[in-house]
C-alpha cells in the first residue's frame, strides 16, 4: 500500500473507533433513539460502509479515489461549520465537545485531501507511478550507434 492509501485507511479506522466510543459514551448525540434506530444497527451499517471503502482503497479503484478526494476536501466545510457553531454565529446542534471533535475530523479530512492532490500530481491515482506522470515508467531512448 502507498502512503496515501495508508492515510485514508487509517483515517477511516480512527473515525470508526471514534464512532464506537461516541455510541458507548453518548449515544444521544446522533439522535438515533428519537429516530427509532438501534445504535447497534447504525454501527453495523457504518461498519459495512467502512469495510467496503477500505476494500476499494486497497484495490486502488479509481472512482473511489475521486469520491474520497471530494469528500475529504469538503472537510473544510466541516471546520467552518464547527467554528461558526462554537462562536455562536449559528445554533449549536450538538454538545460542544462533539462540535470540537467534528472540527478536528474536518481538519484531518482536509489535510489528507490536500495530500491526495499532491500525491496525484506527483505519482497518479493512489500514489502509484503509472502513465506519463512518472519518468520511471517511460521507456529510455535507445543508444544509437554510429558503427554499422
Q: Which of 25, 20, 23 is nearest to 37 (CA)?
A: 23
Q: Is the pLDDT of residue 115 over 80?
A: yes
Q: Which three cell numbers stand for residue 134?
A: 512518472
Residue with cell 505519482: 123
Looking at residue 21, its pLDDT comes to 93
From 10-14, 97-101, 104-108, 125-129, the region with the lowest mean pLDDT? 125-129
pLDDT bucket at 87, cuts 50 / 70 / 90? very high
Per-residue model confidence as pLDDT tens digits over 27-52 = 788 877 777 888 899 999 999 999 99
**Phi, psi (5° rounding) for residue 35?**
-85, -5
Cα 82 versus chain centre, distance = 18
Helix (H) or strand (E) holding 31: none
Domain boundaries defined on the chain: 3-129
**CB-CB contact of 15 with 105 (8 Å):** yes
Amino acid at each position: 500500500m502507498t502512503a496515501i492509501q495508508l492515510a485514508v485507511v487509517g483515517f477511516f479506522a480512527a473515525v470508526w473507533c471514534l464512532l464506537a466510543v461516541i455510541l458507548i459514551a453518548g449515544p444521544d448525540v446522533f439522535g438515533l433513539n428519537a429516530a427509532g434506530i438501534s445504535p447497534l444497527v447504525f454501527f453495523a451499517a457504518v461498519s459495512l460502509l467502512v469495510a467496503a471503502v477500505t476494500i476499494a482503497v486497497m484495490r486502488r479503484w479509481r472512482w473511489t479515489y475521486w469520491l474520497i478526494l471530494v469528500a475529504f476536501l469538503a472537510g473544510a466545510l466541516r471546520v467552518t461549520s464547527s467554528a461558526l457553531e462554537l462562536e455562536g454565529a449559528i445554533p449549536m446542534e450538538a454538545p460542544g465537545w462533539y462540535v470540537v471533535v467534528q472540527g478536528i475530523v474536518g481538519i484531518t479530512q482536509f489535510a489528507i485531501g490536500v495530500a491526495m492532490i499532491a500525491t496525484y500530481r506527483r505519482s497518479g491515482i493512489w500514489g502509484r507511478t503509472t502513465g506519463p506522470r512518472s519518468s520511471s515508467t517511460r521507456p529510455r531512448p535507445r543508444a544509437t550507434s554510429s558503427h554499422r
